[in-house]
Chains A and B, each alone.
Chain A
Amino acid sequence: MIRNIYRISLFFIALNLVTGCEDYLNIPPVAEISEEQVFGTYASFQGFQDKLIRNLVDYNRHGARVTHSIGGEALSPSGQSVYNGNIGNYFYLLSNRGIYAIAELEAFKAGLYSHMWENCRIANLCLEKLESGILVEATENQRKWLEGQALFFRAYYHYEFVRSFGTIPYVDTVFSAEDQDMKRHWSYEKNGTTYNDVQAVFERIVEDLEAAAALLPDVWPSPNINWGRPTSLTALGFKAKALQFSASPLFNEQANGVLEYNTALLDRCAVPCQDAIDLAISLRGTEPAGMPGVNADGLTEMADFRTAFATFDGTQPGTPEVLFHRPVDIYGANNVRQSEARNYSVRQLTGQKAAQGSQMYLDKFEMKDGSRYKFEYDTDPVRRWDDRDSRFDFTFYVHGDVIDAITLDLSTAQLTADGAMNSNAIRKFMVDGVTKDNVGEATYSTPLLRLADIYLTYAEAVFESTGSYTAVPAGLKLSAEDAVNVVRRRAGQPDVADVLTFYEGNPQPASCELASDPAFRLLYRNERAVELAYEGVYWFDIRRWKRAHLKDGVQITAMNFDLIGETQEIDNATVRRVDKQGFVFKDPHYWMPFENSLTRFTADWEQNPGW
């Protein structure tokens, strides 16, 4: 009896131990794209890495009605992002539409914030895979390019993030889901110097960019096909920008508690500026076939300048002066009536209610003779708009401008009817003639870095470090003044020496400028605002200088006027400045708030103060 039970039990147990069929549950080989397939060849590896280009954010395209022009340089109908930014409602920018938006529709090309960590993951994954030797089919150069791009993008995305949010950990590993413990505040020691917090992050960024600059090509093979990829010049340019931010008072204060420029960093900033300028000049003529060339300074001629921002024939916007931008693939009607129209425009032109330049920003544009704009010119029909820096006309449409079949009416009555806030429309990103009815293959792109910015960055670094705008520091080739002149000359404005007197003790009212500022500082800062208008620079600048709070409580103004009778002629007597929106900028606004989805996870990731 017992033996029987024993025998039978044994039989069943033995049967259960047969495990030869476990393979049944293996996943079918065809269902799996293997890592070797993805990372095995240069082309596929590059294809994987290209998501980093796809995740780039164009400041003026991303999300409908979104810009990062929230430093008071623009006015928008209430409820839109610019409006909310102006009143300091930065959480709105996070949760709705803005470059840092969290829940952004894919169709609008995703936010910097929501993709920040994915981007870091991709870049780090690429570096990990390059190390692992899985890449077999690639030349030595191709390996360098892949590594260079990974390092560049890792640095770039950190740069984008940290200049708005302040210090964050430098994400240089591929996290596991179980372990992402990183402290927000940290220090980094290098060459005997200890860098704290945000400067530590910038130091890591600079390191990666230096390495990237050495690895990336000066010119990509088949420049046409690869236009848009970062080059050694791009890496150098952002290295200069990273040092500029790191050296700026706001960032120096967060790192060291000292609210002034860090001159050591400024000195370090000037070097990659000079290198970038030299490299850019040496690379003249290597641009993709069909692209307009540049002048002796590496800048685009004024005649071709629009192509840096916008095109009409389906051509990618850009010139060699544009060191980095997000390549576009949206052309025509959708581009004009949806993207452009929700940017800065008026309904008559593009069909949607959108933002306009604020009047105080228009005031930054000098007169033709280099003198500063005065309020009394408002009623002067010539001086008001016509007798201005050529970039005024380049940047704005004003009343009476005829675009294709549309004659702009920016009178108060029409503005009210259209729900517009100010009497201008932004022209910078529209080729002449483009309207909602004449869309052609129009498109636009906002430069993420332009050589002109490098010249101005150079001027700031040298001037703020040495206190002199004429001095040429040892090892460098330009003075601060020289660098600014390069930019001004392209626009046809008189040289610095001729106009500095206009700036002497003459800050603009209700601006971030102080009477105690040296004239050259007022000038180069004004030059930045004018040259880089609406390219997503101004808000960063006034924060970087820690001057933004000076405008707290200031009313952002618009220019209103009536027409004479039934004509389209402006009744000059009625031209007036109207307060449109109070500008709010308290201490917390120097840093963007982190969304709760990040801060609620750990006490180590503290929210920025005041949020």
Chain B
Amino acid sequence: MRHWQKLCYLFAIFIFTFSAGHAQAPVEGKVIDENGDPVPFATVLIEGTTKGTSTNSDGLFRINAEEGQTLTVQFIGYTTEQVKITDPAQLIVVTLEMTTTELEDVVVVGYGVQKKESVVGSIGTASADDIKTQGNVNNLTDALTGIIPGVTVLSISGMPGGDMESGTKIYSPSEILIRGKTTWNNASPLILVDGVERPMNDIDISEVASVSVLKDASATAVFGMKGGNGVILITTKRGREGKARFNIEAETSFETPSKMIEVASVPESALARNYGLERTRRFSNAAWDELYISDEEVGYYRDGTYPYAYQNIDWQDMLLKKFTVSNRVNVSASGGTDRVKYFASSSYNHVGDIMNSEDLGQGYLPSYSYDRFNVRSNFDFKITKTTTLQANFSGMYGVRNTPPSGTREGLFAGISSTSGDMPILVYEDGIYGADDGRFQASNPYYKLNYMGTVTYPRTMVNMDYTLTQELDFITKGLSASGKLAYDNTFRNEGRSVIESGYIRKTIDKEFYLSGGYYDYATSTYMLNGAPANMDEWTFYDVPTGGREGFGWVRTPNRYGDEEVSLGNAERSLYYELALRYDRSFANHNITGLAMFNRFQSERGSNWPRKREDWVGRITYDYDQRYFLEMNGTYNGSEKFGPEYRFDFFPSIAGGWMLSNEQFVADNLDWLDMFKIRYSYGLVGNDNVSTGSQWPHLTIWDTYSFGYSGDTYYGYPSTYDEYPMYNEGNPGNPNLRWEKARKQNLGFDIGILKNKVTFSADFFDEYRWDMLIGASQRQNTVPPIFGKPAPPANIGEAKSRGAELEATYRNSIRNKLNFWISGNWTVARSEVIYKESTELTLPHQKPEGKPIGQTFTGLSTGFIESWDDLYCATGASDAASNGMLLPGDMIMLDFNSDGLYNGSDDNVPYGYPTYPQNNYGISAGANFEGFDLMFRFLGAYNATRRVNPPLFWSDNIYAPVVILGDTWSPQYNNTDPTYPGVALNAKSYTPTGQWAQYDGSFLRLQSIQLGYTLPSRLTDKLQMSSVKIYVNGRNLFLWTNMPNDGVGMADPGKNYPTKKQVNFGLSMQF
């Protein structure tokens, strides 16, 4: 028993002694919960009167009452208890139990909530706390990484505020997969925020109450055609009845780049290029003459004798900060009465730039950063006894800051392909080194900091209203509700500063080698004891746009104002009407749902995209032992023709709670819970790139074409007599749903007073009528068709897998609470049939392989000598064969046609790009206000392509990983996997499977240490809870991959992924 509790008792006894003999003396009491913790703000009423009070923060109350009266104690979320006062002098201790209808035991399902016990579908959940442990993450997708079994987040870019739907060369958006990939079409799940299709990335994580991931058909069938890839339901926090509670959270995190491709130092790379030149001299003597670096010069690189001629810079080091700081602050208030409940929150989020952007006095701060302001207010109004209105308003204003578009790529080239010897960063007199056209290298530091800055604001204003009317007067348990949501998003190009740039220069190396130097005292370049005529030695790069004449004058900065681009404005409108039924008859519990909804969204002045659903659900359980659930959706999609437009997607699921059977309860008292669930159902997918909004129709449109006119007949000049009509993509009137039949068998087991819980899900999916988009069919329909072929339903695939999760939780003397949990999931897909051409080679047919299978040419060894060379498999053309050298790979001629040719001889290799297996281990404990948790996340059976350039444009950029793998006598690699180093002149250098890495990894995804201040301290501060914590995200990574990324190929010049240490403070009062 804690000290303060003892004190309370003493105090109570003290009071009692004083009050003995006074019949009207106040009655004292204490309200605690199951764990013995005090329940503050509980209502205490004297039965039959209006007299009442509420407990203080220690759960204590005092009320004037008489012996024999009954006290009713209630608090939202707990059972209501009644106590008869038998001895007014004695401290009354009332224990409230948590009710099962509270958040903890309720699962958010499609269009509603269900008691956890009666859930028969496969649903994974994450609580607000789970998300919090992920650290300071501004992107909710990334925050889901690893916290729900069966959910995989593929991620490769750490761009602050990136939300572009399709990637660019410097950014790829993170992707979510639920139970792997069973479609070659867009496999992203449907995402609903508070029941409405909305993007989730820009929701502040403090606003999230829970996340439900619906995985099987039973759970997703209500979404029908949208549910094929799984569904993620985000629920935001709502107010609870009671006094106002304020919550303040502040986090500051320090971020550094995660694992990046390591670059060899300049002298080391220079030597490597020399080896490459020696090897490829036969192809280009000119390259040899131009590029060979003497040992003496390599020495200059090494010892820095001439830093302005022979530079040795680590661009990664130069361009990346040691760490950057990101911040997040959230203030929220919640509370309410039985009439109005509210939750209001506002947050500010700043994501810092790990690029070394600096304010160098240009008048602006160039950076990649993201600043976001979120507000949300969720209200629940009780309008009449039977009518409630939920009104949610949320808004977001986010500003992404980047250097202007022209400079971005050059900047990232600095960390991914530009060698450290050039361009010279900055000369002695402060003039930056000029770009080098020969090696396609731009000065990345200059590009980052001197080209200006552009902002991209985006604003989101969302609102939804739900009006619910209980219809008990018709039949008990019936209610009707209507929902209306209207969302707006604006993406603009915001304020910008565009610099025209500064003069930059390149000084001939010879200047320094001839003894030239810069005299800082006189600010002149000196040669042979006299000021040098630098025009002879210098190439000046003058920015365009400057004024020539009497010397060059720099164009002033251009300041751009926000440009409203209405074409990027998005609106969506959703409305639903629903009837719900929830009633128990003795042991029979029945719920029902009937709903109609429509969703319409449009971007700019495009035609709105529309959907329409008719949804029904009936659940029944008998005595909490037998459960039955039927779901169905009658769904429509405008992509399909009238005959195929609507379809019905049903599912059925059943459960049996064995542990509630008398014979189990009687015989197996250690078995607290044993539930078997099974579901079977149909869902669909219409998520395919179709080439047209209405791919079932042939769209007739007009075309325009040509340099100066659109006309093609007439004399003496062309005439424009007739409208130019064109057949758009031909439609496929038979286009219909991609359908998925899913089965799920699950077991939930709890033993030893639920200290050990175990759950297992086995799932199986079969897809047919799979859609193949118009763009994909260009490879399967011969061009003789005469147009891009229409999308069609030509494919079958299956997938199966399992999710296992085991948790052990216990507490020692109610002081040390701890838990440890492990999960493992596997999901393997296989293509049964996919349209391919008659002549597709058997080993390249997709059938029998997972979706997303990696293909590559294979090397079977190295050409070690000229003898080997004449026996090795040749390339498909003479020019390439002429390029073969010892040290090249012997490529496998898989189809035995005598030559290696990627299009014929590429074979399936390794695994798909996304991991087939994921696992996680997490554990946590709390003791005396301290809590500690960590979560490891791992994946295997993935193959990821990472192919860094070597000697990009003949420069001396060389990744360590290549030099470590290369075949070269100089490197004594006993087991090379990469061909001998070579320059661009050797245009044929097959690298076989080298770039395909084992994509397995294990990472310390998150670790958190927190301390909750004891209440005696917090009470003084008038607070109910204060917690400080520190957590880390992605702190350790074990992998064979040369950089950090999951399931995606590098976009090339990529904003690096990050790791983070985060300090946070959370206060409630």
Contact = CB atoms under 8 A, between A and B. Distances in A.
Contacts of B792: 177-178
B646 A19 contact: yes
A359 to B, nearest CB: 28
A225 B713 contact: yes
A177 B784 contact: no
A24 B717 contact: no
B752 interface: no
Among A11, A18, A54, A314, which residue has the most Cβ atoms of chain B within 10 A? A54
A25 B612 contact: yes
Counting chain A residues whose Cβ lies within 8 A of the other chain, the interface size class is: 35 or more
Interface in A1-51: 1, 4-5, 8-9, 11-13, 15-16, 18-19, 21-22, 24-28, 31-35, 37-38, 43-44, 46-48, 50-51
Interface stretch (B723-731, B739-747, B813-821): B723-731
Contacts of A24: 598, 610, 612, 636
Contacts of A8: 475, 581, 590, 592
A47 B715 CA distance: 18
A51 B726 contact: yes
Interface in B710-754: 710-719, 721-727, 730, 732
Among A13, A177, A226, A327, which residue has the most Cβ atoms of chain B within 10 A? A177
Contacts of B626: none
Interface in A547-603: 596-603
Interface string B677-708: 00000000000000001100101111101111
A25 B609 CA distance: 9
A5 B620 CA distance: 9
A228 interface: yes
A125 B714 contact: no
Given A25-B636, A117-B786, A330-B708, A15 B612 contact: no
A15 B714 CA distance: 63
Given A33-B701, A228-B714, A180 B616 contact: no
B915 to A, nearest CB: 32
B712 A598 contact: no
Contacts of A121: 727, 785-787
A597 B642 CA distance: 34
Nearest to A7: B475
Nearest to A332: B708
A291 interface: yes
Given A4-B585, A44-B723, A329-B707, A315 B716 contact: yes
A227 interface: yes
A316 interface: yes
A117 B786 CA distance: 4
Given A5-B620, A44-B723, A48-B725, A605 B714 contact: no
Nearest to A171: B784
A226 B721 CA distance: 9
A180 B784 contact: yes
Interface in A221-235: 223-229
B722 A43 contact: yes
A114 B778 CA distance: 13
A9 to B, nearest CB: 6
Given A43-B722, A171-B784, A182-B784, A54 B712 contact: yes
B781 interface: yes
Nearest to B718: A329
Nearest to A288: B715
Contact of A33 (B614, B699, B782): B699
Nearest to B702: A33
Interface in B207-233: none
A101 to B, nearest CB: 13
Contacts of A376: none
Interface in A110-158: 114, 117-122, 125
A15 B616 contact: yes
A107 interface: yes
Interface residues of B, number: 77
A315 B717 contact: yes
A595 to B, nearest CB: 8
Contact of A54 (B705, B782, B785, B837): B705
A22 B612 contact: yes
Interface string B576-614: 000101000110101011101010000000010011101
A338 B646 CA distance: 54
Interface in A161-208: 169, 171, 174-175, 177-178, 180, 182
B674 interface: no
B709 A329 contact: yes
B1045 interface: no
B840 interface: yes
B715 A224 contact: yes
B712 to A, nearest CB: 4
B676 interface: no
Contacts of B722: 43-44, 46-47, 50
B725 A597 contact: no
B648 to A, nearest CB: 9
B608 to A, nearest CB: 8
B535 interface: no
Nearest to A168: B784
A228 B713 contact: yes
A60 to B, nearest CB: 16
B945 interface: no
B786 A225 contact: no
A329 B697 contact: no
B757 interface: no
A24 B598 CA distance: 9
B363 interface: no
A79 interface: no
Interface in B768-787: 777, 780-787
A281 interface: no
B75 interface: no
B576 to A, nearest CB: 13
Contacts of B723: 43-44, 47
Given A24-B636, A224-B715, A601 B839 contact: yes
Contacts of A48: 725-727
A122 B707 contact: no
B289 interface: no
Given A46-B722, A47-B723, A602 B646 contact: no
A605 B838 CA distance: 11
A466 interface: no
A603 B838 contact: yes
B716 A316 contact: yes
Contact of A43 (B721, B727, B783): B721
A601 B838 contact: yes
A370 interface: no
A182 B783 CA distance: 13
A15 B634 CA distance: 11
A16 B632 contact: yes
A32 B717 CA distance: 33
A26 B607 CA distance: 12
Among B616, B646, B726, which residue has the most Cβ atoms of chain A within 10 A? B726
B296 to A, nearest CB: 37
Contacts of A291: 715-716
Among B701, B725, B726, B777, which residue has the most Cβ atoms of chain A within 10 A? B725
A53 interface: yes
12 contacts: A24-B598, A28-B607, A43-B721, A177-B732, A178-B792, A225-B719, A226-B714, A290-B716, A291-B715, A316-B714, A601-B782, A601-B837
The 4 closest A-B pairs by CB, nearest first: A121-B786, A47-B722, A228-B713, A227-B715
Given A16-B616, A25-B636, A224-B716, 11 more contacts: A9-B592, A15-B614, A16-B594, A33-B725, A117-B784, A119-B786, A182-B784, A224-B714, A225-B721, A291-B715, A329-B712
Interface of B: 475, 579, 581, 585-586, 588, 590, 592-594, 596, 598, 607, 610-612, 614, 616, 618, 620, 632, 634, 636-638, 642, 645-646, 693-694, 697, 699-703, 705-719, 721-727, 730, 732, 777, 780-787, 789-790, 792, 837-840, 903
